[in-house]
Structure 1
Amino acid sequence: MARQVEDADEQVVAGETVSGDGASAEALGRYLRTRARDMREEPDSPLFFGRLDFDDEPETGDHRRQRYYIGRRRVSEHPSAPPLVVDWRAPVSRTFYQARVAEPLGVERRRRFGWAPGSVGEPEDLTGLEDERLDAAGAADAESLIVAAEIERPRHGPMRDIVATIQPEQDDLVRGELGDSVCVQGAPGSGKTAVGLHRAAYLLYTYPQRLKRSGLLVIGPNRTFLRYIAEVLPSLGEIDVAQLTVEDVVARHPVKGRDSQAAAVVKQSARMATVLRRALYVRVRVPEEPVVVPDGSYRWRVGGDELARVVEEVRAQASAYAIGREHVRARVVSLVQDQAERRAGPRSATWQAKIGRSKPVKAFVDAAWPALRPEEVVARLLSDPAVLAEAADGVLEPAEQRALVWQKAPRSEKSAPWSADDMVLLDEVAGLIERPEGFGHVVVDEAQDLSPMQCRAIARRSGFGSLTALGDLAQGTAPWAARDWAEQLTHLGKPEAAVVPLTTGFRVPAAVMQVANRLLAALDVRVPPARSLRMDGELSVRRVPDAAVAAVDAVRGALRREGSVALIAADADVERLTGMLGQAGIEAVSAGEFGSAARVTVMPATLAKGLEYDHVVVVEPAAIVEAELRGLERLYVVVTRAVSRLDVVHARELPAALAG
């Protein structure tokens, strides 16, 4: 690998002397510099994690008697030489994930290598070497044992990839076509997030030119989650991938205000799209006066009836607002041009541009179809009850309208108390005025928690591309969380996307999954019960006199074992529990502080989604349930964060669904 990095740097120097036109030389230099940079930034890790030995049968074709090492990136002594290590995304590598005893696909032996955490591939760091015989001699399938050994390894820090243990059903999703949109309904621990990230890496490898032009975007639920997954794509060979929250996607101004829950629910509702469209287009009108355009010794006149017809026809075209404005201008110029050419012959493009800039035409366009900014439209809507009432007539109830109106109108848009929920309103109007640039592919995780308006913001950015939506309806904790994928995918602009369930939990052990399925029965969603590949795991549910004291004791006990520990409680209790751990001499970090030597994380329940820990201590489930509207769903999320042991301590009665 070091030689490849050295070769890449040498090619940058050599490329400077390549003859050719300036544009070609610049493009080549940019490509070589980018490649050299990516090679230097490649994370240190073992070069390979698997090996394929093909059999001697003629049906095996070109791979007959061949041996391939499978890794995260292609490795060769020279770009034109056969690879020493094959990229896991290459077509031949698919056999590594799809071959099985019942259908060996020409593979005689599949080998998986295990490496110590942090290893760069030194021989002494090799911790495991498992062979699977897929021919007749290997009838006893050891795959499940090898997979279990991999996924039961203790977890430390950010998310590790699953590239060495992808299962056939996961591989089918990873290697889908770029044009295919898909929704993965994944049970806890089923690897849906990892599947989505591996799909992103696979698409970038398979369609580099198309995605280089259009881009690929990964959207996560919060910054803690993005920090957790940050190392996955670089470890798979992809450095330059935008990873944002939906709040980052729609951000236009610093957030200064905070909405009540009632206002937030209305602003995130799909009905606001209708209100905002009305608020924008209510400014479109037809002045009664005709347009008279001076042109040398001539005066060209366009009557009111013709102007009204122009505005009505352009509105009926349903194009973006800014484009409609220019269409109105062009149509008026065309009407003037018709008169001029009947009287004085053909007119040039320069003449047309001059007429379009003339004061009478400009004044008409500004009056009939004024240039507007999103801030102007939304601020006027939220400041003036009369304007809101007109736009929301028949759409929002009077109480909902009252919840939206600012108590005090700001002096200007810059001083407006914009909230996080206002950002989706501004983005909606911006999309009505001028469509944003889109991405070739968007991966969105925790998609069940997106509001209809957030979905619309994503749909505008994937309208000409494809989408991978990842989520679990049972883990929908937002007030507007989806209960049905068909409706959610419609909001996301991909109603045709296939919904593929992943019901096997590879991370969450059976003992924990049993508790989760008990909660699942009490949730108002159609989700099949999950099953676990792992028959291990420990579960403890204890009623104690003082839950906080018992939680500290449980953390102390967990530290006697290997692995990461999370103490999860209702948000209001986190500060007190952190202080008690400190008093007990137990070092702990807050959620999202990856890279610390501390093994204990104190986690508010609202930030637990998507994260995993070896040992999870849940404090007072009743308080977690009471803290928010969808408290049972939040508790379902919390209990499924454990990948080895779950310890529930409570002084109050357990929620009925958990008590069983």
Structure 2
Amino acid sequence: MDEKIQSAYQEEMLRLEHTSKKIDQQLERLQRIPAYYGKDLTEQVLDSMREQSRRNLSKAVDEPYFGRLDFQESGKGAPTPYYIGKAGIEEEGSSKLLVIDWRAPVASLFYSFTGGLDAAAYDSPDGLIDGLVYLKRNVVIRKQILQRVVDTFDREQDSLAAHDEFLLYRLGENKDNKLRDIVSTIQAEQDRIIRAAKNTALIIQGVAGSGKTTVALHRLAYLLYQYRDQIRAEKMIIFAPNRMFLDYISSVLPELGVGDIQQNTFSDWALDILEQEVKLADPTVTLNTWFAIGPNRPEINEHAPGRFKGSLSFKEDLEQKLASFEQIYIPSSSFQPWEGKVLPIQTIHEWFFVENNHYPLAKRRDRVVARIKRWLEMELEPIWEMSRKKELKQKSAQKLRTYLKSWPEHTALSLYQLLYPDTQFKHKTVQHEDLAPLLFVHCRLHGIPSERMFDHVVVDEAQDFSPFQIAVLDMFTRNRSFTILGDLSQGIHAYQGIMDWKEFSSMFPEEQSGYFELERSYRSTMEIIQFANSVLSRGGQTGLLAVPVFRSGDKVRILQTEKSERMKMLIKALNRIRAGSSSTIAVIARTEKQSEKLYGNLQQAGIPCNSISSRQREYKGGISVLPVYLAKGLEFDAVILMDVDGEHYTSSIIDAKLLYVGCTRCLHELWLLYSGEASPLVDLQDRENISTEFPQ
């Protein structure tokens, strides 16, 4: 071992021993203090602080920190070593910090500093702090054992040579069935997104494997740390494409010490607000229609039902119809409870359009009806003859019931159908594209209670959201605080989603929005990324292509097999992959029906595997069999794509995006099997990145 490396390792061993001892002492002391169950507010606060410290210390026991930054602030005599971890740890009896929280201002230098001898700076509550970075060091600690020490910058050498080496070391680790945090490897371009101001609508175009989902989750943790007095975790929400994806990302926030953040799909959230007034049509019908094989698949354009009902022009039309409806909503005639007594329509108009104008429609109706009832009571009050009073009371009640029939109470569904008579829903079953309009109508009827408002909203796979959906979410979000992320190259649900990020950015003021591009892919090897890029290019995609980090691996395996032999070849490929180090493997079919058949065949062959369907709520790891359109957002060590021929993957842009999604799911190994002629999206002449031979 090099003398300098050995010295650094010994130094970090001593520091780890010191830190671990301090953490153990603090944790032992705190665990001896019994929990407080009394009613004294001061003691409750102190107990809560102790519990938070216990959690932080317990989390830090095995891996107290992952990085070190030696920074000399201008005007100070010597550099200070800052150790950076997932949680800040104070040294008892001292103002000194044993470990700096990764979200702290000074820790931003660990991510943003990219080398050089010039001064560096970070924003602090006291203003800009500048100085010199002397050392940037990555360390890997597992179960209190120091495993790796890598200096990614040393001022004495002005070197960043080891930076990529450490990144590749972390990227080369195998996947399990959960997404992991990336606090130790956050890159400068990712850090800028994470630390962006709260009241901003961020739109992030990130290529496959750029870490955009993980960045968004880390941004939530940062916002809670930085704006702890302004926002609450339970007022933040993540919208994901499906329940299985939520399960897949479920461990990241707890690892970062963050709990209570809401996680949902747009459809489940919408149905909850609509109080289950409607049911959602089976999504598999839509999926099987749009992802069918052959010429019968519908064409995706702006006239597709999902795109039309999800557009801002449809929202404007709905707004105009609601405004017109409001003008004719109340009865057109005066109310006459009995002969000789009249409540003029002008008075009812005044109550509805002036006095209660600031209330939503249903609330205004309720208040005006209550006002009419009070008026009746006041008119009946002077009548002293009891029999006459009783007669008029009964008569007026009947008259009011008749009068209110011309002023019916509406639900979101009944009003939506009234405004669009051609839109009828059998058994109150609606399509996904109807949810945003229904929510909009619901809000106009009932308003938005304060407890339903969000402090920050994350929309993942946002290219599959419609502008109308984002507009509705904006109504529920304070200060337009959004993190909207996705990849247009993976826009396989374009029948309901967007074609350009401008469809979203145009909805926010320029000074209150930001657009970022993440073009580096950290997931797959160079060979896989370059092959996947060629698939997009051959399909006519001209957008942002992924730039791989310098991590080389096996060539992409593209194997031809007879149809009768495809299952034998699949099992042979699986056995070869399983003999290596891969622990998560995906077998990806073109459709859900084909996926189910493959799953059954593998089960019969005795291959342990899990089937993933559109109704799935949990990703279990191991070998997964799934259709390509459900693979988006997931990661595997290895992927086998089935039936990559001209019938299953044509040269169309949607098929190119589907195949691109399948190719970019893997970290280390990609296999494509086909019979007959290969898909026109596959370049069999690309000998630099592919191999057509089964590995020996």
Q: Which band: TM-score by shorter chain?
A: 0.7 to 0.9
> SS of the residue aligned with 1:282?
helix
Counterpart check, 1:166 vs 2:192: no
Q: Counterpart in 2 of 1:348?
A: none
Query: Is the CA contact (8 Å cut-off) linking 2:631 and 2:662 kept in structure 1?
Result: yes
Q: Counterpart in 1 of 2:589?
A: 569
Which amino acid in structure 2 is aligned with residue 148 of structure 1?
A: L
Q: Counterpart in 2 of 1:520?
A: 536
What do the CA deviations read for 1:75-123 (whole angstroms, capped 9, x no partner)? Answer: 23448642211110011111111223225632222221224xxx4x322
Shift of 1:589: 2.4
User: Any residues of structure 2 matched to 1:179-194 within 5 Å, and which?
Assistant: 179-194=199-214
Shift of 1:72: 0.5
Q: Counterpart in 2 of 1:343?
A: none
User: Any residues of structure 2 matched to 1:437-456 within 5 Å, and which?
Assistant: 437-456=452-471
> SS of the residue aligned with 1:179?
coil
Given the superposition, is the C-alpha separation of residues 81 and 160 from structure 1 closer, same or farther in structure 2, using an over 3 Å criterion? same
> SS of the residue aligned with 1:161?
coil
User: Any residues of structure 2 matched to 1:617-636 within 5 Å, and which?
Assistant: 617-622=640-645, 625=649, 630-636=654-660
Q: Counterpart in 1 of 2:89?
A: 75
Which amino acid in structure 2 is aligned with residue 605 of structure 1?
A: V
Once residues 213 and 615 of structure 1 are traced to their aligned partners in structure 2, the CA distance between those partners, rounded to angstroms, is 35
Q: Counterpart in 1 of 2:144?
A: 122
Once residues 257 and 185 of structure 1 are traced to their aligned partners in structure 2, the CA distance between those partners, rounded to angstroms, is 30
Counterpart check, 1:600 vs 2:640: no
Q: Counterpart in 2 of 1:464?
A: 479
What do the CA deviations read for 1:255-280 (whole angstroms, capped 9, x no partner)? Answer: 46437647666655556545655379
User: Any residues of structure 2 matched to 1:387-406 within 5 Å, and which?
Assistant: 387=418, 391-392=419-420, 401=422, 404-406=423-425
Unpaired segments ≥5 residues, structure 2: 1-22, 121-131, 287-303, 380-395, 685-696
Given the superposition, is the C-alpha separation of residues 632 and 493 from structure 1 closer, same or farther in structure 2, using an over 3 Å criterion? farther
> SS of the residue aligned with 1:178?
coil
Given the superposition, is the C-alpha separation of residues 578 and 60 from structure 1 closer, same or farther in structure 2, using an over 3 Å criterion? farther
Query: Is the CA contact (8 Å cut-off) linking 1:287 and 1:367 kept in structure 2?
Result: no
Aligned length: 595
Which amino acid in structure 2 is aligned with residue 549 of structure 1?
A: K
Shift of 1:225: 1.2
What do the CA deviations read for 1:612-647 (whole angstroms, capped 9, x no partner)? Answer: 112111111346547999333221111111211211
Given the superposition, is the C-alpha separation of residues 45 and 520 from structure 1 closer, same or farther in structure 2, using an over 3 Å criterion? farther
Q: Counterpart in 2 of 1:145?
A: 165
Counterpart check, 1:197 vs 2:217: yes
Once residues 179 and 88 of structure 2 are traced to their aligned partners in structure 1, the CA distance between those partners, rounded to angstroms, is 23
Which amino acid in structure 2 is aligned with residue 113 of structure 1?
A: V
- Structure 1, 131-140 or 644-653: larger mean CA deviation: 131-140
| TM superposition score normalised by structure 1 | 0.78
Shift of 1:331: 10
Q: Counterpart in 1 of 2:301?
A: none
Task: Report % sequence identity.
Answer: 26
Which amino acid in structure 2 is aligned with residue 448 of structure 1?
A: Q
Which amino acid in structure 2 is aligned with residue 653 of structure 1?
A: E
Q: Counterpart in 1 of 2:559?
A: 542
Shift of 1:200: 0.7
- Structure 1, 574-583 or 552-561: larger mean CA deviation: 574-583
Given the superposition, is the C-alpha separation of residues 8 and 279 from structure 1 closer, same or farther in structure 2, using an over 3 Å criterion? farther
Query: Is the CA contact (8 Å cut-off) linking 1:589 and 1:602 kept in structure 2?
Result: yes
What do the CA deviations read for 1:150-178 (whole angstroms, capped 9, x no partner)? Answer: 11222222111111011111111111111
> SS of the residue aligned with 1:521?
helix
User: Any residues of structure 2 matched to 1:148-547 within 5 Å, and which?
Assistant: 148-212=168-232, 215-252=235-272, 253=276, 255=279, 257-258=281-282, 261=286, 268=310, 270=312, 273=315, 278=321, 282=325, 284-291=328-335, 303-305=344-346, 307-308=348-349, 320-322=360-362, 324-325=364-365, 366=404, 370-378=408-416, 381=417, 387=418, 391-392=419-420, 401=422, 404-406=423-425, 410=427, 416-417=428-429, 420=432, 422-436=434-448, 437-478=452-493, 479-490=495-506, 497-521=513-537, 527-538=543-554, 539-546=556-563, 547=566
Q: Counterpart in 1 of 2:45?
A: 28
CA RMSD of aligned residues (A): 4.1
Given the superposition, is the C-alpha separation of residues 256 and 172 from structure 1 closer, same or farther in structure 2, using an over 3 Å criterion? closer
- Structure 1, 529-538 or 259-268: larger mean CA deviation: 259-268
Once residues 461 and 524 of structure 1 are traced to their aligned partners in structure 2, the CA distance between those partners, rounded to angstroms, is 38
Which amino acid in structure 1 is aligned with residue 679 of structure 2?
A: P
> SS of the residue aligned with 1:658?
coil
Once residues 589 and 650 of structure 2 are traced to their aligned partners in structure 1, the CA distance between those partners, rounded to angstroms, is 12
Shift of 1:208: 1.4
Given the superposition, is the C-alpha separation of residues 423 and 280 from structure 1 closer, same or farther in structure 2, using an over 3 Å criterion? farther
Q: 1:647 aligns with which of 662, 671, 674?
A: 671
Q: Counterpart in 1 of 2:103?
A: 89
Query: Is the CA contact (8 Å cut-off) linking 2:35 and 2:47 kept in structure 1?
Result: no
Which amino acid in structure 1 is aligned with residue 644 of structure 2?
A: P
Once residues 454 and 577 of structure 2 are traced to their aligned partners in structure 1, the CA distance between those partners, rounded to angstroms, is 45
Once residues 154 and 97 of structure 2 are traced to their aligned partners in structure 1, the CA distance between those partners, rounded to angstroms, is 24
Query: Is the CA contact (8 Å cut-off) linking 2:87 and 2:99 kept in structure 1?
Result: yes
> SS of the residue aligned with 1:210?
coil
> SS of the residue aligned with 2:682?
helix
Counterpart check, 1:110 vs 2:130: no
Given the superposition, is the C-alpha separation of residues 377 and 94 from structure 1 closer, same or farther in structure 2, using an over 3 Å criterion? same
Given the superposition, is the C-alpha separation of residues 154 and 310 from structure 1 closer, same or farther in structure 2, using an over 3 Å criterion? same
- Structure 1, 263-272 or 150-159: larger mean CA deviation: 263-272
Q: Counterpart in 1 of 2:571?
A: 552
Query: Is the CA contact (8 Å cut-off) linking 1:16 and 1:29 kept in structure 2?
Result: no
> SS of the residue aligned with 1:47?
coil
> SS of the residue aligned with 2:669?
strand
| TM superposition score normalised by structure 2 | 0.74
Q: 2:661 aligns with which of 637, 641, 660?
A: 637
Query: Is the CA contact (8 Å cut-off) linking 1:275 and 1:392 kept in structure 2?
Result: no
What do the CA deviations read for 1:157-207 (whole angstroms, capped 9, x no partner)? Answer: 211111101111111111111112211100111111111111111001111
Query: Is the CA contact (8 Å cut-off) linking 1:285 and 1:367 kept in structure 2?
Result: no
Shift of 1:292: 6.9
Shift of 1:73: 0.7
> SS of the residue aligned with 2:681?
helix
Once residues 16 and 450 of structure 1 are traced to their aligned partners in structure 2, the CA distance between those partners, rounded to angstroms, is 48
Which amino acid in structure 2 is aligned with residue 579 of structure 1?
A: G
What do the CA deviations read for 1:373-412 (whole angstroms, capped 9, x no partner)? Answer: 224434xx2xxxxx4xxx348xxxxxxx4xx434xx55xx
> SS of the residue aligned with 2:535?
helix
Shift of 1:291: 4.9
Shift of 1:475: 0.5
Which amino acid in structure 2 is aligned with residue 282 of structure 1?
A: F
